Amino acid sequence: MKTIYIASDHAGFECKKEIIKYLEKNLSAYIVHDLGPSSSDRVDYPDYADLVCKKIIKENSNDFGVLICGSGQGMAIRANKFKHIRAALCWDEESAKLSRAHNHANVLCVGSRLLEVDKIKEICTSFLTTQEEEGRHLGRVLKLSSPA
């Protein structure tokens, strides 16, 4: 069974709670682990991006992460500092599908201040159910992991 590690900052806390309930109910092929925070008190989003990325790297490269902050951008910037993490900031189902199929993204980042919870649920479903495409995309994905 694949695992989804999910975390947020204070701006994404309420959204995260709703997304966890949705994932547990609708995507039963996954185990969902909430890595925090446990309240809407102010926290620093890089700390929670780190928790998710370190879990993915340590536990299993086939697992996924979902990171939620106000814009999604801060989480994406931090997550992409980790080797073997390909974090994608997504705003609709198509961007989620393409990030998985073409870029082999393994961490989804979304903005709770920019998107409605129902839209984020749709984005999560698209991201988590889209398969990676090989062929012409594989060479490009390998370049993403090589030093610049």
Strand partners, 146: none
CA dihedral of residues 99, 89, 76, 137 (deg, nearest 10): 20
Amino acid letter, 96: A
Cβ(73)–Cβ(90) below 8 Å? no
Which residues belong to the active site? 102
Residues above pLDDT 90, as percent of the chain? 81
pTM of this prediction?
0.95
pLDDT tens digits for range 34-80: 999 999 999 999 999 999 999 999 876 789 999 999 999 999 999 99
Helix or strand holding residue 73 (H, E):
helix 73-79
pLDDT tens digits for range 90-99: 999 999 999 9
Q: Output the average pLDDT for the chain.
A: 94
Q: Which residue, among 66, 48, 70, 59, has the nearest Cα to 105 in the 3D structure?
A: 66
pLDDT bucket at 135, cuts 50 / 70 / 90 = confident
The confidence score (pLDDT) of residue 60 equals 65
Counting every residue written for the chain, the total comes to 148
Strand partners, 4: 32, 64
- List, in order of start, the domains of the chain with CATH numbers: 2-144 (3.40.1400.10)
**Count of beta carbons in the 10 Å neighbourhood of residue 138:** 12
| Crossing angle of helices 13-26 and 117-129, rounded to 10° | 50
